[in-house]
Structure 1
Amino acid sequence: MTFDAKQRPAAIRVVMPFVFRHWFNQPLATLTVAGGLLGATVADLFMPIFSGHLVDALTLGPADADARQAALMAFGAIVALGLTSIAMRMIGLQAIVPFTLKIMSDVARDAFMRVQRFSTDWHANSFAGSTVRKITRGMWALDLYNDTILLALLPSLMVLLGSMVLLGLHWTSLGLVIALGALVYVSMTVALSIRYIAPAARVSNAWDTKVGGTLADALTCNGVIKSFGAEAREDVRLARVISRWRARVRRSWMRYNITNAVQLLVLLCLRGSVIGGSVLLWIAGRASPGDVTYVLTSYYIIHAYLRDVGMHINNLQRSVNDMEELVAIHDEPIGIADAPDARPIGITGGRIVFDRVTFLYGGHRDPLYDGLSVDIRAGERVGLVGRSGSGKTTFVKLVQRLYDVSGGKILVDGQDIAKATQQSLRSQIAIVQQEPILFHRTLAENIAYGRPGASQAAIEQAARLANAHDFIMRLPKGYGTLVGERGIKLSGGERQRVALARAFLADAPVLILDEATSSLDSESEAAIQEAMERLMKGRTAIVIAHRLSTVQSLDRILVFDRGDIVEQGSHAMLMARSGGIYRSLFERQATEFARASAAE
């Protein structure tokens, strides 16, 4: 796995406009934070001036009444400036907390909304753990970014500019020395951060994401790991990834250390120039002890801010790098988007028409469907059969508009689904997958997912229809039982029955069953098959069949082969066709079943 920083745009040019857009969404809060912190900085900026006045007054001695008054006034000004600085800083700090939290919340929520709406292909090619890591790391990087810009860099730049101006008004040469030194220091720090640190940080972040994905992949598939006794193998696999992550992070951290050493060397040169210059002015009689105190106090403030500026710029670059992948999620186009004028679709009968549909998977040269036309009547029960890869699953995914067709159109009750909102379309289609996925929530919440406002009585009735009520009631917490991640605490048959109950409760006009009884034992299958017959009655039902015995009673069977419907008709009609694909598949399965039964 390689990462070429040169092939990607500079993160700072992508991330900073992204963050500033969120700042502009809160203009009053942005002004309050910036105003409070800049006010505190201005108060700090004038401290050295009155410190110099105080030293000059003290050198005249306590017997001088004017000196005493000047000393007291300078002391009072220092205290007043200190109180002003504290008050203004508190205003800024109090405002930045809700300001930053709102941006973090908005960004995380928006990223989640986009990820939810990305295409099926995007999710198939992405690690869930990596995606979570990108979002959470980017969220916390926003906190560091806001603190760095508003709490650190903005006040630092104000102090640097203000000090250079004030010193330049008294001694032009010192002002120029500080200006030149600050310019060299900041320019060097920015260049090192962008050109030297950022590429290494970007690579280390990518491997940090890789570690998260590897952990999530192994933890999600822990059952498979245990079944093969492969814990040690997975330990070795993670160790390899962590080893490469450690090497990348070490390089990144070492570059931070080298950059810091170079920064300190430049600051040492600047310190010698300023202190030496102020001593020369005093020797030449052009500066009083108070003036030297003012210069030294100003320089130490400038030095502290300059030293911190280097750290802040490094932190800024780090936060930008950490946000880069999050911003990429926001910039990622949504695979299937609603049309600008999309409206909710109303499905009553559930007639489905494929009108000369052409469909090409991304990256494939030849289309799977090329002018496919089929008409499924309202209330018709249709089975889809065929060899693996023949186009059965793609057919139902296109009905749900998980992909957009390349040509032609799909109509439901005469309405083009490409012009309908996806939410309205999918909410009126109930689907039971071959491998049902449950949320780590209660059984009641899982069953009611298609109808979140359903009553407990309706939930239990749906469970009874799916032959799930009895096993649920045997659980210690009944319908309040948490099922574990992806339903891992339930057996395959139990998960399937919960998914069926979810479909029963949804009561949608269109029903899609992807071999919904494949995980059930024979006794449960008979009961569920009977319930499914009742469920399909009066609804448009599409059944993807792997075991052909489940489609014998359907109204029509469509036989797919390489994206074409090569045969269609009832079970009896297709069995009467000598040399037909359906008959061949059915007879082969019957023979295999007979052999398996004899072996038992």
Structure 2
Amino acid sequence: MSQRSSENAIREVLTFLLRHWWREKWFVAWVAGCMLSATAADLLMPVYSGHLVDALAAHPVSRAMALMAAIRAIAMMAFLGVSLALLRYAGMAGIIRLTLRLMSRFAGQAFWRVQRFSTDWHANNFAGAIVRRITRGMWAVDMMDDILLLDLLPALVVLVGSSLLLGWHWPIMGALVGAGAVAYITISILLSLYYVSPASRLSNAQDTRIGAAMADSITCNTVVKSFGAERREDVRLGRVLDKWHRRTARSWTFATRNGAAQQLLLQVLRAVVLACAVWLWWKGRATAGDLTFVLTSYFIVHGYLRDIGQHVRNLQRSANDMEEMVQFYARPLGIEDRPGAVPIRVREGEIVYDHVTFRYAGQTDALFEDFSLRIRSGERIGLVGHSGSGKTTFVKLLHRLYDADSGSILVDGQDISHGVQESLRAQIALVPQEPILFHRTLAENIAYGRPNAPMHEIEAAARLANAHDFIVRQPKGYQTLVGERGVKLSGGERQRVALARAFLANTPVLVLDEATSSLDSESEALIQEAMERLMAGRTSIVIAHRLSTVRMLDRILVFERGRIIEEGTHEELVRRIGGTYQRLFERQALGLVVDGIDEEETGFNDEALAYE
């Protein structure tokens, strides 16, 4: 990373944090006020230490007067000490509330944005890495709040105040301490910003890759075991860890050198200040109490300066930790609702593609060009075609996972680009080819489309999907946890849970992405019957990989490179001599492996993966 990029990144993080501090300005003002008052008490302590020494030294004749002056100095020092402790406690109590509010807000807002990023973005990023960026940034807020409000703010006040107090008595001493403090802080910031920070950013980037690599292997543990590849995955992670080890060692080494340089600067400054104090005493310009005041003040300054060096390093590290999370806020959402968007209400389920043109980002040729189609309310449509012909993109556009470049898509006469996305998707039930379940109970997964559905409706939906029997055999029935992505269930069981979810959602529009592909032959016949019930009275779009799925549909559309090349019922298309549909059907009936069809039966294509 360049020096300039490190400086910009830290500036962006600090600007981001200060903007959110402004939203909590009363909490920030409370914490800052308490810490500044506590620091003032700490700053005045050396003054009364000097008074104490002068009281004892200035009254050799009258011990009583000396005692009274000493008692006054001690009482004032005690008062300042108690005040300091109480004020710091009040500041700490305030910063606890402030930091927890900010951490919760940042994590929630980052999650909100990540949920709304495009499907392409999610397809290109590891879930484990995303989670690591959010959690690392969330905890960095805790450190930054402490450093800025509890540490650096009081330290700067002490440095300025001590320089002014010393300068009031001896201008040369005040100038010396002030100049030394400014030089030390400047050098510390420059070392952290331009020497340590670039190495730290590289270390953080590799730390994110560790989370991504682990999540990738753990999520696919079934595949790892099926190929006996545990050792291979160990080696793969080991390479990532080796790179992290090198980068982190470099980062820590740079930080250690930075700390050593700061300590050397402090030792030089201390020697100069002590020499100046002795010179003032030698010239008769300072008493023993004055020397006590100077030494006590400098020891406080020295301690704060030493801590400032550590605080600057921690500030740089926490800014690096927050940087990746802050980038989520700068990144535009994939598809955003327009200003003034209104909820879409679907009753009939008529769908119209009106002269739609669409191309994927980075591609010169459009997949759909001036594409038009009308699906009547309640009509059951099958989409057939080779891999990459546009079937899944057709459904993505309906779900508004992408916006068309031109033209419009209407649902019940409502342009979906002008509506609220969530309202549209909530009324289109999707049963994907490879259903993904949450690591929650079976009941929660079935009711995901209607989270407040009563238990008897959940069970009814499961019966319609032929899922009830296997569910009641589970250890806790409908309250059984299914594992991450539903890994504790077979593919057919996951598919039936997804079908039950669609039954319960009871939406006007239904999309079935080869919903029987994961079922055994016996279950398939039952599910086909259930699907007939599910599609009744609903506008249904079926992406068909096995053509037996679409035989009973009202209309079949054969796609090729974003165009509909054939259209009709199964009986009409299968009789069309030399037609694409007839050729595909005959080859499947003969059990032959065909280019494109075999791809779709085994795993679909890149756009289908992105859609999921």
Name the residue aligned to 2:294: 295
Match of 1:350 in 2: 349
**1:287 alignment partner, SS class:** coil
Q: Distance in 2 between matches of 1:37 and 1:61?
A: 40
Q: Residue 40 of structure 1: CA displacement? A: 0.3
Tell me the secondary structure at the aligned position of residue 542 of structure 2: strand
Q: Secondary structure at the match of 2:591?
A: helix
Q: Secondary structure at the match of 2:312?
A: helix
Partners of 2:487 and 2:232 lie apart in 1 by 23
1:575 is displaced (CA, Å) by: 1.2
Preserved contact between residue 7 and residue 193 of structure 2 (Cα < 8 Å): no
Structure 2 residue aligned with 1:30 = 28
Query: Which residue number in structure 1 is paired with residue 497 of structure 2?
Result: 498
Separation in structure 1 between the aligned mates of residue 351 and residue 261 of structure 2, nearest angstrom: 70
Give the CA deviation at 1:32: 0.5
SS in 2 for 1:10: helix
Match of residue 19 from structure 1:
17
Q: For residues 189 and 280 of structure 1, do their structure 2 counterparts lie closer, same or farther at Cα, with a shift above 3 Å needed?
A: same
The question of 1:45 aligning with 2:40 is answered no
Q: Which moved more, 1:66-75 or 1:311-320?
A: 66-75
Q: Which residue does the alignment assign to 2:547?
A: 548
Whole-angstrom CA distance in 1 between matches of 2:131 and 2:593 = 48
Structure 2 residue 312 is matched with structure 1 residue 308:
no
Which residue number corresponds to residue 408 of structure 2? 409
Q: Is contact 1:62–1:68 with CA below 8 Å preserved after alignment?
A: no
Give the equivalent residue in structure 2 for 1:89: 88
Contact 1:390 1:560 in 2 (8 A): yes
Please state how far the C-alpha of 1:87 moved relative to its aligned partner: 1.4
C-alpha displacement at 1:5, in angstroms? Answer: 6.5
What are the superposed Cα offsets for residues 237-259 of structure 1, whole Å, 9 maximum, x if unpaired? 10000000010001100011001
Deviates more, 1:7-16 or 1:186-195: 7-16
CA displacement, residues 566-600 of structure 1 (integer Å, 9 cap, x when unaligned): 111111111121111111111110011799xxxxx
State the Cα RMSD in Å.
1.3
**Counterpart for residue 274 of structure 1:** 273
> For residue 482 of structure 2, what is the amino acid of its counterpart?
V
| Correspondence list, 1:152-163, <5 A | 152-163=151-162
SS of 1:75's equivalent in the other structure is helix
Q: Distance in 2 between matches of 1:182 and 1:412?
A: 68
For residue 171 of structure 2, what is the aligned residue in structure 1? 172
1:75 aligns with 2:74: yes
3-state DSSP class of the match of 1:372?
Answer: strand
Q: Distance in 1 between matches of 2:466 and 2:82?
A: 73
Contact 2:573 2:582 (8 Å CA) reproduced: yes
Question: Where do 1:128-207 residues align within 5 Å?
Answer: 128-207=127-206
Cα displacement (A) at 1:30: 0.6
Q: Is 1:5–1:202's contact at 8 Å kept on the other side of the alignment?
A: no
Write the letter of the residue equivalent to 2:41: A
Taking the aligned partners of 1:201 and 1:280, their CA distance within structure 2 comes to 44
Please state how far the C-alpha of 1:64 moved relative to its aligned partner: 3.1
1:598 corresponds in structure 2 to none
Question: Equivalent residue of 1:46, what SS?
Answer: helix
Question: 1:5 and 1:282 mapped to 2: Cα distance?
Answer: 46
Could you tell me which residue of structure 2 aligns to residue 56 of structure 1? 54
- Give 1:65 deviation, angstroms: 3.0
Counterpart of 2:468, as a letter, is H
In structure 1, give the amino acid aligned to 2:67.
R
Deviation sequence 1:193-227 (CA, Å, 0-9, x none): 11001100110000000010000000001111111
CA pair 103-404 structure 1, distance change in 2 beyond 3 A: same
Query: Contact 2:6 / 2:194 at 8 angstroms: preserved in 1?
Result: no
8 Å contact 2:355–2:407 — kept in the other structure? yes
Cα distance in 2 for partners of 1:320, 1:195 equals 14
Helix, strand or coil for the counterpart of 1:557? strand
Runs of 4+ in 1 over 2 A off after TM superposition: 3-9, 60-66
Structure 1: unaligned runs, 5 residues or longer: 596-600
Q: Does 1:210 align with 2:216?
A: no
Q: Which moved more, 1:6-15 or 1:313-322?
A: 6-15
Q: CA deviation at 1:62?
A: 8.0
Gaps of 5+ in 2: 595-612
Q: Give the CA deviation at 1:66.
A: 2.6
Amino acid paired to 1:323 = M
Contact 2:210 2:240 in 1 (8 A): yes
The Cα shift of 1:9 comes to: 6.4
Structure 1 position 397, deviation (Å): 0.8
CA deviation after TM superposition for structure 1 residue 341, in Å: 1.2
Q: From the superposition, tell whether residues 72 and 453 of structure 1 become closer, same or farther in structure 2 (CA, over 3 Å).
A: same
Q: Which residue of 2 aligns with 1:379?
A: 378
Distance 1:5 1:485 in 2: 42
Q: Is the 8 A contact 2:6 2:198 kept in 1?
A: no
Aligned to 2:506: 507
CA distance in 2 between partners of 1:594 and 1:188 (Å): 70
Q: Does 1:388 align with 2:387?
A: yes
Task: Give the direction of change, closer, same or farther, for the CA distance of 1:9–1:402 in structure 2 (3 Å limit).
Answer: farther
- Residue 235 of structure 2 aligns with which residue? 236
Question: Percent identity at matched positions?
Answer: 60
Give per-residue Cα distances to partners, 1:529-578, cap 9 Å, x unaligned. 11111111110000000000110110000100011111111111111211
Note the alpha carbon deviations across 1:320-359, whole angstroms, 9 max, x for none.
0000000001111101000111000110110111111111
Q: Per-residue deviation at 1:378?
A: 0.5
Which aligned pairs between 1:458-537 and structure 2 lie closer than 5 A? 458-537=457-536
Deviations 1:497-553 (A, max 9, x none): 000000000000000000001111111111111111111111000000000011011
1:390-429, CA deviations, whole angstroms, 9 ceiling, x for partnerless residues? Answer: 0001111111101111111100011000001001000000
Change over 3 Å in CA distance of 1:454–1:506 after alignment to 2: same
Tell me if the contact between 2:6 and 2:193 (Cα under 8 Å) persists in the aligned partners.
no
Instruction: Return the offset for 1:71.
Output: 0.8
CA distance in 2, matches of 1:5, 1:530: 65
SS at match of 1:490: coil
State the secondary structure of the residue aligned to 1:517: coil
Task: Name the CA distance, whole Å, in 2 between partners of 1:409 and 1:66.
Answer: 95
Residue 588 of structure 1 corresponds to which residue in structure 2?
587
Give the partner amino acid of 2:42: D
Q: Spell out, residue by residue over 1:462-519, the C-alpha distance to the aligned partner (whole angstroms, 9 max, x if none).
A: 0000000000011111001000000000000000000000000000000000000111
Partner of 1:260: 259
Paired with 1:351 and 1:593, the residues of 2 have a C-alpha distance of 37
Instruction: Find the aligned partners of 2:448 and 2:409 in 1 and give their Cα distance.
Output: 27
C-alpha distance in 1 between matches for 2:368 and 2:207: 41
Q: Deviations over 1:139-160 (max 9, x none)?
A: 1100000000001000000000
- AA aligned opposite 1:232: R
Q: 1:8 to 1:412 in 2, by over 3 A?
A: farther
SS in 1 for 2:493: helix
- Structure 2 distance, partners of 1:258, 1:527, is 71
How many angstroms apart in 1 are the aligned matches of 2:593 and 2:222?
A: 32
Amino acid at match of 2:354: D
Distance change (3 Å), C-alpha of 1:62 and 1:431: farther
Partner SS for 1:592: coil
Equivalent AA in structure 1 for residue 236 of structure 2: R
TM normalised by structure 1 equals 0.97
Deviation of 1:61 (Å): 4.2
Q: Tell me, yes or no, if structure 1 residue 370 matches structure 2 residue 369.
A: yes
**Which structure 2 residues correspond to residues 336-347 of structure 1 after superposition, within 5 A?**
336-347=335-346
- For 1:533, the aligned partner's letter is E
> 1:185 offset after TM fit, Å?
0.3
User: What is the alpha-carbon distance in structure 2 between the residues aligned to residue 405 and residue 261 of structure 1?
Assistant: 59
